[in-house]
Each structure stands twice: as C-alpha cells, then as structure tokens.
Amino acid sequence: MSEALIEDLIMAQEAFLAALDDDGAPGIEQALADFRTSLAAVQAVRGFTPSEATRARLARALALADAARIRTNYLADRTRRQIDRLSAANRGLSAPIAYGRNGRLARR
C-alpha cells in the first residue's frame, strides 16, 4: 500500500471532520463523497505488509474515523433534541404556524 493512498484517506477524513464542524449539508455531502472515494482506493489494495511508519499513519486514520463517529452521533442527538423541543413548543399552539402567500408567518 502506498503512503499516498493513506495520506489521501487521512486528508479526506480531516476534510469530512471540518465539514461536520461547519454544519453545512452541501459541504458534508461533498466531503463524504471524497472520503468514500479515498476509502475505496485503500480497500482495493490486497495483501500488503505495513511498515512501522505505515502502521502509525493507519492508526491516525483510525483515530480520525473514531472522531467522525463521535461527531456524527453528537450531531444526530442534537438534531433529535431540537426536533423534540420544536414538537413540545408546537403542542401549546391552537393551530399550526404556516406561511401566508406574502411569505410572512400567518396563524390560522
């Protein structure tokens, strides 16, 4: 396995983490697509014996994967909590809020 493949994977993971931190869906989708491409290139390599340097870089890649897992779980939980709060706030309303034809919020 070449060092370049591993470095591409690590850079893709770091870009994915940065996109998760930026909280923008288009950036996350692009970073995830780039990560998938890099991961597929690494998975395509078969039967290699890693050197100590390669093992260290692979350990870094695994640590980044764990960081992405943690961030993804956090963001999913945060989104669920926001939805729960919005649902709870909506229970006190007599009618759902909707936008009128003029683009302003209108209560029915």
User: What stretches in the chain show pLDDT beneath 70?
Assistant: 1, 92-103, 105-108
Give alpha helix (H) positions in the chain: 3-22, 25-43, 52-91
> What local confidence, expressed as pLDDT, does residue 9 receive?
93
Overall pTM > 0.85: no
> What local confidence, expressed as pLDDT, does residue 13 receive?
95
Distance from C-alpha of 67 to C-alpha of 59, rounded to nearest angstrom: 12
Asked if residue 39 lies in contact with residue 31, where contact means CB atoms within 8 angstroms, the answer is no
**Structural domain boundaries of the chain?**
3-92
